[in-house]
Chain A
């Protein structure tokens, strides 16, 4: 059974940093492209960024609103995906989901991030 279990999140002040984690199981993590998608309160879904498998170069792509502030990384030895969020703004307040595969086939349970003073 595929599982994506997220951790991290919480309340952080504007300008602060936070790291989210996503532990994967039930599939060959190293072979899969992983993404982060967020959902602001009462709003729709927004793609944050993705990281390709190392076989496909391991490169990252980001949505314009987070480029230069967020960093996606992966540790294939731990089957874990990370999202390092820096210079956080109030508009980054959302539930963040990790997803697996190009069609976002599988989703984590989500973790709430609140940016507020």
Chain B
């Protein structure tokens, strides 16, 4: 049972826009920034978004992030086949005194 809640799966067709949600509480998302990670099959995770909506160098602007209250979301526009991966949200948790992750969302490009 993960502290942050994500839908286990999401899907879309090439070119579509897909949104992945991440729900938390006042001790994590409600008071700290959210990061997103992309894990391609069989590889290590990669930082995709930090501080809610900042893209590291090299991440396409098709990816965007937002946070509102105790929830956050990752949006992928112009979906491509190479976006098929697992996506994880994370945030520091003040009660647990450590970072917590969502359970991950498996994105399928149909």
A binding-site residues for B, Cβ under 8 Å: 37, 44-47, 61, 63-64, 97, 103-110
Q: How large is the interface on B (under 10, 10 to 19, 20 to 34, 35 or more residues)?
A: 20 to 34
Decide: A44 near B101, CB < 8 A? Known: A97-B44, A103-B35, A105-B56: yes
Nearest chain B residue, comparing its CB with the CB of A97: B44
Q: Check: B12 CB closer than 8 A to any chain A CB.
A: no
Whether A104 pairs with B98 at a CB distance below 8 angstroms is no
Q: For window 60-101 of chain B, which residues contact chain A by CB distance below 8 Å?
A: 88, 90, 96-101
B residues less than 8 Å from A47 (CB atoms): 98-101
Give the CA-CA distance A110 to B44 in the complex, in Å: 7
Decide: A108 near B35, CB < 8 A? Known: A44-B88, A44-B101, A61-B97: no
Q: For window 13-70 of chain B, which residues contact chain A by CB distance below 8 Å?
A: 35, 37, 44-47, 50-51, 56
**Top-5 shortest CB links A-B:** A107-B44, A103-B50, A44-B104, A45-B101, A44-B103
B2, B45, B56: residue with the most chain A Cβ atoms closer than 10 Å: B45
Chain B nearest CB from A10 CB (Å) reads 18
B residues less than 8 Å from A103 (CB atoms): 35, 47, 50-51
> Can you list 10 A-B contacts with CB-CB less than 8 angstroms, sorted by A residue number?
A37-B45, A45-B45, A45-B90, A47-B98, A47-B99, A47-B100, A47-B101, A104-B37, A105-B50, A108-B44
Nearest chain B residue, comparing its CB with the CB of A63: B98
Give the CA-CA distance A109 to B45 in the complex, in Å: 9
A residues less than 8 Å from B35 (CB atoms): 103-104
Q: Which of A44, A61, A97 contacts B98 (CB 8 A)?
A: A61
A residues less than 8 Å from B104 (CB atoms): 44-45
Whether A109 pairs with B44 at a CB distance below 8 angstroms is yes
Q: Which of B90, B96, B102, B103 contacts A104 (CB 8 A)?
A: B90
Whether B45 pairs with A107 at a CB distance below 8 angstroms is yes
Chain B nearest CB from A67 CB (Å) reads 10
B residues less than 8 Å from A107 (CB atoms): 44-47
Whether B46 pairs with A44 at a CB distance below 8 angstroms is no
